[in-house]
Amino acid sequence: MEHYNMNLNLKVWRQKNSKTNGEFKMYRVENISSEMSFLEMFDVLNEQLIAAGDEPIAFDHDCREGICGMCSMYINGKPHGPWQANTTCQLHMRAFKDGDTIVVEPWRANAFPVIKDLVVDRSAFDRIIQAGGYVSVNTGNAVDGNAIPINKDNADAAFAAAMCIGCGACVAACKNSSAMLFLSAKVSHLALLPQGEPERHSRVLNMVAQMDKEGFGACTNTGACEATCPKEISISNIARLNQEYLSASLVAEK
């Protein structure tokens, strides 16, 4: 692929903390390589700001290889930017051209309050996981992972659901700020495997209850989540979650 350099105008959301109101600020970066990642471009900008004695822009990131789900940025109106099935850290500057103006905002949802600039508090997701997104195992020797036979189709579907990195892009894209794609991935991942069976009913009931408590909106199956998800989590997981929830509500002992 041809390499080129570009000059860009950035319109970035700046917000001191969760208590204050934020606003957009314009910045200019020059000589950005088309081979940089989007976050590296932000590093260049922050070096510039620090050198000028300004406050650098706070943004979340960790692995920078598309697996941790930290790099939440809403770029030109789309979570994780213009590419399909991609995280912000894996978005390369060749997605843009010289002279572009790029607008960068934090995820917007009441359940994801802004902490600072582009960093939002996604601990709502952690609390949903804590409500039931696990399997309990007794201590002692590690069990043989291959001792329980698992149907291949179920294993594949469970693995596909387990791809979810909890980035929150589904909530950010959804007009209802619904967390159903995320939750459906977590519930499906365990509901499809025999290891998930003992806690199957309490898991889905408790996780849904926690999700509702966190103030996410309700799903109306618009499909924006699936289209934006960097891990291409299928929306049919949401229907599976609905089925799990309905049947658990009907037959759970408690």
Q: Which of other proteins, ligand HEM, ligand SF4, none does residue 181 bind (CB under 5 to 8 Å by kind)?
A: ligand SF4
State phi, psi for 25 to the nearest 5 degrees. -125, 145
What does 192 bind: other proteins, ligand FES, ligand SF4, none (CB cut-off 5 to 8 Å by kind)?
none
Give the nearer residue to ligand FES in terms of CB position, either 88 or 188.
Answer: 88
Q: Does 168 bind ligand FES (CB under 6 A)?
A: no
Q: Give yes or no for residue 229 binding ligand FES (CB under 6 A).
A: no
Applying CB under 8 A, the residues found at the interface with other proteins are 11, 24, 74, 76-79, 103, 105, 108-111, 172-178, 215-224, 226-228, 235-240, 242-247
Least separation, in Å, of the C-beta of 220 and ligand HEM? 4
Asked if residue 79 binds ligand FES (CB under 6 A), the reply is: no
Query: What secondary structure does DSSP assign to the chain, as a single string?
Result: ----EEEEEEEEEE-SSTTS--EEEEEEEEEEETTSBHHHHHHHHHHHHHHTTPPPPP---S-SSSSS-----EETTEET-SSSS--GGG-BGGGS-TT-EEEEE----TTS-EEETTEE--HHHHHHHHTT-S----SSSPPPTTSS---HHHHHHHHHHHT-----HHHHH-TT-B-HHHHHHHHHHHHTSGGGGGGHHHHHHHHHHHHHHTT-B------HHHHH-TT---THHHHHHHHHHHHHHHH---
Mask 173-212, x = binds ligand HEM (CB under 6 A)?
----------------------------------------
Nearest CB to ligand SF4, comparing residues 12 and 172: 172
Q: Which does 248 bind (CB under 5 to 8 A by kind): ligand SF4, ligand FES, other proteins, none?
A: none
* Residue 72 interaction partner, one of ligand SF4, other proteins, ligand FES, none, beta carbon < 5-8 Å per kind: none
Residues in contact with ligand SF4 by CB under 6 A are 69, 164-170, 181-182, 185, 229-231, 233
